[in-house]
């Protein structure tokens, strides 16, 4: 699953080197975006942000943004200190990984590697059946022995998560639109039906016997698990 990285630093050469090395080490499992200092407040508008690499100088007037990112998006954060920065400033950021210029690029890569490992091992697992696991953070369905894995789209993942959280109730169409699509007004009915159909097809790959049914009598959708 692709990870989203954002780097905020005015050192263009460093940015290029990081992108080059990350490409070599992690292949295509990332999406890197560079921001200027004045774009820092846009971070809270990101849907997801797995890793932020930021120069300390850009945090002076935005020190609260790190706590917000960790709390709301569970982002990994690496701070880059310039060599001329007062070392007493480091104490304020003891909870974060950091490097100090000049540093060896491998030092930064090693921190990112540790992030990848923790990302894969600490993510939330939702057990659907004995053999079937859903990982909402990475939008993946996989068998327990990991011989089979299927990627879900963002909406498929949100839809499945919402279904599993409400297995015992009839889900009104408006409820699904609000909680999955984030809108109160109605959208094309076929959009919802298409996503449900697509999700069913992906569950069928695991030979999971289930049914998510639209019932006019009950006034919405309900989830019925069929046990052999």
Map residue 65 onto helix, strand or coil: helix
Rounded Cα gap, residues 36 and 8, in angstroms? 6
For 124-155, give the DSSP string: --EESSSSEEEETTTTEEEETTSS-EEE--HH
For 138-204, give the DSSP string: TTEEEETTSS-EEE--HHHHHHHHHHHHTTTSPBPHHHHIIIII--SS---HHHHHHHHHHHHHHHH
* Fold equal for 3-122 and 126-225: no
Taking the domains of the chain in order of start, what are their residue ranges?
3-122, 126-225
Rounded Cα gap, residues 3 and 28, in angstroms? 9
Q: Which long-range contacts (CB under 8 A, 24 or more apart) does 100-105 make?
A: 105/17, 105/18, 105/21
Which residue(s) pair with 98 in the sheet? 79
pLDDT computed for residue 193 by the predictor: 82
pTM across the whole model:
0.51
Among all chains, which residue has been given the structure tokens 């002076």?
Answer: 60
CA angle (137 as vertex; 128, 44 as ends), nearest 5: 150
pLDDT computed for residue 30 by the predictor: 67
Helix 105-122 vs helix 12-26: crossing angle, to nearest 10: 50
Q: Which helix (H) or strand (E) holds 80?
A: strand 76-81
pLDDT computed for residue 177 by the predictor: 80
* Per-residue pLDDT tens digits of the chain, which is 228 residues long: 567 788 888 888 888 888 888 777 766 566 777 776 556 667 766 667 788 888 888 877 676 777 777 776 667 888 888 887 787 777 778 888 889 998 888 898 888 888 776 665 556 788 888 788 888 877 888 887 767 889 999 889 888 888 888 877 888 888 888 888 776 656 556 778 888 889 888 888 887 766 666 665 666 777 666 554
CATH superfamily of the domain spanning 3-122:
Response regulator (3.40.50.2300)
CATH class held by domain 126-225: mainly alpha
71 is written with which tokens?
């709390």
Is the bond preceding 102 in cis, omega lying within 30 degrees of 0? yes
- Tell me which residue of 140, 124, 129 sits closest to 167, measured CA to CA: 129
Rounded Cα gap, residues 62 and 78, in angstroms? 15
215 is written with which tokens?
């019932």
Helix 154-165 vs helix 189-204: crossing angle, to nearest 10: 80
């Amino acid at each position: 699953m692709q990870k989203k990285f954002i780097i905020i630093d005015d050192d263009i050469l460093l940015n290029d080197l990081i992108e080059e090395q990350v490409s070599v080490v992690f292949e295509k499992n990332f999406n890197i975006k560079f921001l200027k200092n004045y774009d820092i407040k846009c971070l809270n508008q990101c849907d997801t942000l797995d890793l932020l690499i930021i120069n300390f100088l850009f945090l002076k007037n935005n020190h609260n943004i790190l706590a917000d990112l960790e709390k709301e998006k569970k982002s990994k954060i690496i701070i880059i200190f310039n060599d001329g920065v007062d070392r007493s400033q480091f104490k304020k950021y003891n909870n974060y990984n950091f490097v100090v210029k000049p540093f060896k690029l491998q030092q930064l890569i090693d921190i990112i590697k540790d992030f990848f490992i923790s990302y894969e091992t600490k993510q939330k697992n939702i057990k659907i059946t004995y053999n079937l696991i859903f990982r909402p953070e990475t939008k993946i369905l996989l068998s327990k022995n990991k011989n089979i894995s299927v990627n879900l789209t963002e909406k498929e993942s949100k839809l499945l998560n919402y279904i599993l959280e409400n297995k015992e109730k009839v889900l009104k169409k408006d409820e699904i639109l609000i909680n999955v699509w984030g809108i109160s007004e109605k959208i094309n009915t076929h959009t919802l039906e298409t996503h449900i159909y697509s999700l069913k097809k992906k569950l069928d790959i695991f030979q999971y016997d289930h049914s998510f049914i639209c019932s006019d009598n009950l006034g919405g959708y309900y989830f019925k698990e069929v046990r052999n």
